[in-house]
Structures are given as C-alpha cells and as structure tokens.
Amino acid sequence: MSVLVVGVDAVSRLNFYRQMPETAAFLKELGAFEMLGYNKVEDNTFPNLVPVLTGLTEAELKATCWPSTSSVFDDCPFLWKRYSEAGFLTAYGEDASWMGTFNYMKNGFHKQPTDFYLQIFNHVAEKEAGHEKRLNANLCVGKRLNLDMLLGGVASFALGSLGAPFFGFFWGGSLSHDFLNLPRLGDKSHLKMLQLFKDQGLLERTVFVLMSDHGIRWGGIRETYQGYLEERLPFLFLVLPQWFREEFPTAVSYLRLNGRRLTTPFDLHETLKDLVDLKGLRKNEIKKRMQSDTPGGRSLFLPISDERNCTSARIADNWCTCHQSEPLSANSSGAVQAARALVGRLNALLDGHRECARLDVGSVISARLEVPTSHLSAPKETIPVKDYTVTVRTRPGGGLFEATVRRDPGGYKVVGTVSRINTYGDQSACIAHYKLKLYCFCLPR
C-alpha cells in the first residue's frame, strides 16, 4: 500500500469549501474522513509541517539536527527516511520553490532527500518560464498554472510507480499562499487529479491525504475574528481504500470518531507512521496501544479523548481555538497594557539590530479577553490569569501585529509568538533572519 500527501498552502477548512467546492464534493463521494477539529500548532508553514514530517517542534528540530539557519536538514528524522527503509519509493516537491518549506531563508538539503525530488526542476522552470508574479509566487510557468506543473509531477510519480509502494509529499502554494480567493483557480486541477487517480485504480492501493497547514495569515479577513479563527483551523482529509476499511475496522472507527476531536500536526505524523507497517492497526494491537497515554501526538487510528485540551495536544495558548472570548474596548486599560507588552516584545526581539527602527504603538485595532483551555480546570483559589488577544498597528511602517498577552501577578507578557497580519514587502529588506523579517522596519541608509 502507498501513501500520498498533497498540501494546499494557507487554506482554512471553511475557505476550502468556499474556494474548492468541486474537490470537496468529490472527496465526499470518495468517503473521505474529515478532521473537523484540526488545529495548527505554530505560525506559518515551516513550524506546522515540521511536526507532520518529523514529529518534532521547531525548537526540538533545532536541538536534534538543525542547530542554525545556516545548517542543512539532511540529518533530520523525516518520515520519508522511515518509508525508504521499509522499501517504499519516496518523493518530495513544492511549487513556488524559492519559498519552499525548507528553502525560504534556509539552506535546504545538501543531498537529494528522496528518490524523486522535484525542487531543482521546479526552481529552474520557474526561473526560466515563470510569470504572473503578483506577490511572492509565479502563478504561471509557460502556458500552465504553476500548480498544474506540480500536480502533473504528482500524477507522474504516483501512476508511474508501477505498483511499487511509495510515499509522496507534495506542497502547492503558488495560488493560495498570498491570496484568499485564488485557490478557486486550482479547484478543477485537484478534482481532475483525484478523478484520474480513481479511474486508474490508484485509490484502491493508496491512502490519500489532502491538507493545509493554516488559513490565510494576512489581508482584510485577518483583521476580523472570523479570520483569526480560520487562520488556526486548516483542513485535513484522508481517503482510505475499501479493503483497508474492511481489514482494519477498529482503527477506521476511531479515525471516524476523531473527526470530531481536537487534532494536530503531531497526530498526523503518528498516523503516517502507522501506515509504514500496518500490523499496528490490527484490533489486538490497537487495544494494547490504547493503554499507553504518551504526551504529544496520538495516531488518528487510536481514540482521542473528547476532554483533550490545547495543553495536552501541544497547542500553545495563542494558537488555541478552544476558548471563550469577549470583545474589549481598544481604549480599555487591559487592551492598552497588552498592546504595550506586544510592542515591547517586538523591540526586544529586534534589540541589537541597529538597521531596524524602534517600534511604538500607533493604535490598538482590536482586543478580546480570552479564557484559555489550559486554565479552564484551574482551582478556584488560584490567582486569576487573564489572556488578551490584541491587534496593534505600529509606527513607523504601519505593521499590523497580533499576539496573546497574559496578565498574571508578574504583569503583562506575550505568550508564544507575535503574528504579522499584513504584508511587509521590502520594509525588512535590510535583514535576512527568516523570523525577524516579519518585524523589522528598516531605517534609511
């Protein structure tokens, strides 16, 4: 049996239904399992795909195999290595290759990581024939959509494997990375690929995963509470062969159950590990594994508790969607203090980079008071903790930033990372660090 993962960058679950209704309808026809509670665990693509492919957080990856941004990723424990050791053909590729997951402001791989590696071809094709670059990605390569070039490579690899088991991981961002409404141009492309796979019998011997990493991270929708939630809730579908459903009914029943549970990229990693060797999915093995309650990821083929919260699922409070909230006046004391803490955090991160301006609070755009999951069960006698989600426009530069700021007896402190929710263009051209580029406003030279 083979495993094929195809990703669509920056598309929330709800926006998937808006933008790709034909693909969604065909997935339903195929009996796909949808994870309604799939929650991202970090800000952008890299720290949300690292858990899928390695089971590690970004910090754990740095400690394990990627000590600095100048390092390559060759020694990291990617899933395709596990599949390769088990005798699978492996493939990896992305469109918009210059900003690929392991290439944007990073050094990628020294050696070819998989048997079939599309990055080099895609990079040259985009460089020589790419056009219609509206923001970050070439929408077209020659007379084709950049996405169609990628999906053509997916089909060639999957259908050309001649029955040999394979693991393929492919990521498309050219249409969806920058624009809320352009993924609709890829609806028929994904539909045709799935129809081809069905007609050729590929789905009878392959587990197919269609997913995203997060919702759109900037633009007008991100200035709304709806956009705040959608950014954190990408889509995830799994299509299983009929024989697989019949042979592993217990595992499949739990997959169906988990469609209405809180799930994460760490869980998807454990699920993909299970598909290397199917012995662990037999009923007696499932029962044994249910006795262990390991922290972090849990295979979607095992039952996930309906009492799971963001803390136990390794979702930081600033990305957690399992909370109650209420809007606050932007002029309220809590909102103003939270805004100052946010900007203070940015200036602390930029400290030592003299090429970047010191930022001030320009205005507080919005604020909400949250009740984080991790505190819902706190004893009543504990000192109350308040979490604020605040959106701030800074000066100079007009950057829009959002963060969760916690007020406790020690004061106001940013929890997790600060998100930038508008584009920065060339404002940060003077700095090369892949994270600080979000925050820096370059001083005139």
pLDDT tens digit string along 335-367?
A: 999 999 999 999 999 999 999 999 999 999 999
Please state which of the ranges 12-26, 211-225, 249-263, 294-308 shows the lowest mean pLDDT: 294-308
pLDDT for 383 equals 53
* Mean pLDDT of the region 8-27: 99
Mean of the per-residue pLDDT values of the chain: 95
* Mean pLDDT of the region 432-445: 93
- pLDDT tops 50 at residue 430: yes
Give the tokens for residue 162: 């001649």
pLDDT single digits (tens) 83-94? 999 999 999 999
Report which listed range, 118-122, 299-303, 424-428, is most confident.
Answer: 299-303
Q: Which long-range contacts (CB under 8 A, 24 or more apart) does 413-418 make?
A: 413/341, 414/341, 414/342, 414/345, 415/316, 415/317, 415/318, 415/387, 416/316, 416/317, 416/318, 416/319, 417/42, 417/43, 417/318, 418/342, 418/345, 418/346
Closest CA to 121 of 95, 140, 147, 143: 95
- pLDDT tops 80 at residue 317: yes
SS3 state of residue 329 = coil
List, by residue range, all CATH 3.10.450.10 domains of the chain: 323-438
pLDDT single digits (tens) 107-151? 999 999 999 999 999 999 999 999 999 889 999 999 999 999 999
pLDDT single digits (tens) 192-225? 999 999 999 999 999 999 999 999 999 999 999 9
Contact 390, 402 (CB under 8 A): yes
Strands 116-117 and 360-371 come out as unpaired
pLDDT for 381 equals 44
* Mean pLDDT of the region 323-335: 94
Could you say which of 3.40.50.2300, 3.40.710.10, 3.40.720.10, 3.40.50.300 is the CATH number of the domain covering 2-316? 3.40.720.10
pLDDT for 293 equals 65
Q: How confident is the model at residue 375 (pLDDT cuts 50, 70, 90)?
A: very low
List, in sequence order, the alpha helices (H) in 138-281. Answer: 146-159, 187-199, 225-232, 242-247, 249-258, 265-274
* Mean pLDDT of the region 306-327: 92
- pLDDT tops 90 at residue 51: yes
Contact 74, 109 (CB under 8 A): yes
- pLDDT tops 70 at residue 374: no
DSSP bridge pairs for 93: 170
pLDDT single digits (tens) 269-300? 999 999 999 999 999 999 999 987 666 799 99
pLDDT for 373 equals 47
- Residues shown for the chain: 445
CA gap 330, 365 in Å, rounded: 7
Could you say which of 3.40.50.970, 3.10.20.30, 3.10.450.10, 2.60.200.20 is the CATH number of the domain covering 323-438? 3.10.450.10
* Mean pLDDT of the region 30-55: 98
List, by residue range, all CATH 3.40.720.10 domains of the chain: 2-316
DSSP bridge pairs for 390: 367, 403
SS3 state of residue 98 = helix
- pLDDT tops 60 at residue 395: yes
